[in-house]
Chain A
Amino acid sequence: MLLFHLLGLCGQRPDAFGPLPGTEQAWKALTAVQQRAAADLDVVLMHPQVGTWLAGTLRMLKDVARPRAPLWSETGWLYALIFAAAVRAGLPIRTRVPVRDGAVLLPTLGLVSAGHDSSCDVAEAEVRGGRATVTFEDRQVVLPADPSRDGPGWWALRRMEAQAGGERIEVWLDDIDPYRDLADAITPDRLTPDSVARWSALFGEAWQILCERWPAYARCVAAGLKSISPLPIDPEANVIRSASTADAFGAVLLEQPVDSSMLAVTVVHEMQHVLLGGLLRMIPLHTADDGRRFYAPWRDDPRPLSGLHQGAYAFLGMSELWRRLYESSTGPDTRSLGFEFAYARRQTGMAMRVLSRSPALTGIGHRFVEGMVDHLRVMNAVRLPVELERAAWLAVASHRTVWRLRNVTVEPESVARLTGDWLAGRAPGSEPVRARLTDAGTYPGVHRATVIRQQIARDATVPTVDCTAWAAGYTDPGDHHWWSELALGLADRRLPGWHAMLRDPSLVREVFVAARAAGANPDPVGVAVWLGGLGSA
Chain B
Amino acid sequence: MDDLSGDVQSDLIDLTEISMDDLRQCDPRIFAESLDRILQQIEKPRFNLGTGPPGQRID
Question: Interface of A with B (CB < 8 Å)?
Answer: 1-5, 8, 27, 30-31, 34-35, 38, 55, 58-59, 62, 64, 182-183, 216-217, 220, 239-247, 262, 265-266, 269-270, 273, 277, 280-284, 296, 298-300, 306-307, 310-311, 314-315, 317-318, 320, 322, 340, 343-344, 347, 364, 367-368, 371, 374-375, 447, 449-450, 453
Q: Which residues of A contact B57 (CB under 8 A)?
A: 242, 269, 298, 311, 314
Tell whether, in the assembled complex, residue A31 and residue B50 are in contact, meaning their CB atoms are under 8 Å apart: no
Question: Interface of B with A (CB < 8 Å)?
Answer: 1-2, 4, 8, 10-13, 15, 19-21, 23-24, 28, 31, 34-35, 37-39, 41-43, 45-59
CB of A434, distance to nearest CB on chain B (Å): 29
State the main secondary structure of chain A at its contact with B: helix
Tell whether, in the assembled complex, residue B58 and residue A55 are in contact, meaning their CB atoms are under 8 Å apart: no
Tell whether, in the assembled complex, residue B52 and residue A240 are in contact, meaning their CB atoms are under 8 Å apart: yes
Tell whether, in the assembled complex, residue B20 and residue A30 are in contact, meaning their CB atoms are under 8 Å apart: yes
With beta carbons under 8 angstroms apart, the residue of B10, B28, B39, B52 that contacts A282 is B10
30 contacts between A and B (CB under 8 A): A27-B20, A30-B20, A31-B20, A31-B24, A58-B39, A62-B43, A183-B47, A217-B1, A239-B53, A242-B57, A243-B49, A247-B45, A269-B50, A269-B57, A270-B48, A270-B50, A282-B10, A283-B8, A298-B56, A298-B58, A310-B46, A314-B57, A340-B55, A344-B55, A367-B4, A368-B4, A371-B2, A375-B1, A449-B56, A450-B56
With beta carbons under 8 angstroms apart, the residue of A244, A282, A318 that contacts B54 is A318
Q: Which residues of B contact A242 (CB under 8 A)?
A: 49-50, 57
CB of B24, distance to nearest CB on chain A (Å): 7
Given A317-B1, A367-B4, verify A1-B35 contact (CB < 8 Å): yes
Q: Which residues of B contact A453 (CB under 8 A)?
A: 53
Given A245-B46, A375-B2, verify A314-B59 contact (CB < 8 Å): yes
Q: Which residues of B contact A283 (CB under 8 A)?
A: 8, 10-11
Q: Which residues of A contact B28 (CB under 8 A)?
A: 8
Tell whether, in the assembled complex, residue A35 and residue B56 are in contact, meaning their CB atoms are under 8 Å apart: no
Q: Which residues of A contact B20 (CB under 8 A)?
A: 3-4, 27, 30-31, 34
Bound together, the chains give a CA A307 to CA B50 distance in angstroms of 13
Bound together, the chains give a CA A281 to CA B2 distance in angstroms of 20
Bound together, the chains give a CA A4 to CA B39 distance in angstroms of 12
Q: Which residues of B contact A246 (CB under 8 A)?
A: 41, 45-46
Tell whether, in the assembled complex, residue B8 and residue A364 are in contact, meaning their CB atoms are under 8 Å apart: yes
Tell whether, in the assembled complex, residue A296 and residue B47 are in contact, meaning their CB atoms are under 8 Å apart: no
Tell whether, in the assembled complex, residue A245 and residue B48 are in contact, meaning their CB atoms are under 8 Å apart: yes
Name which residue of chain A comes closest to B58, CB basis: A299
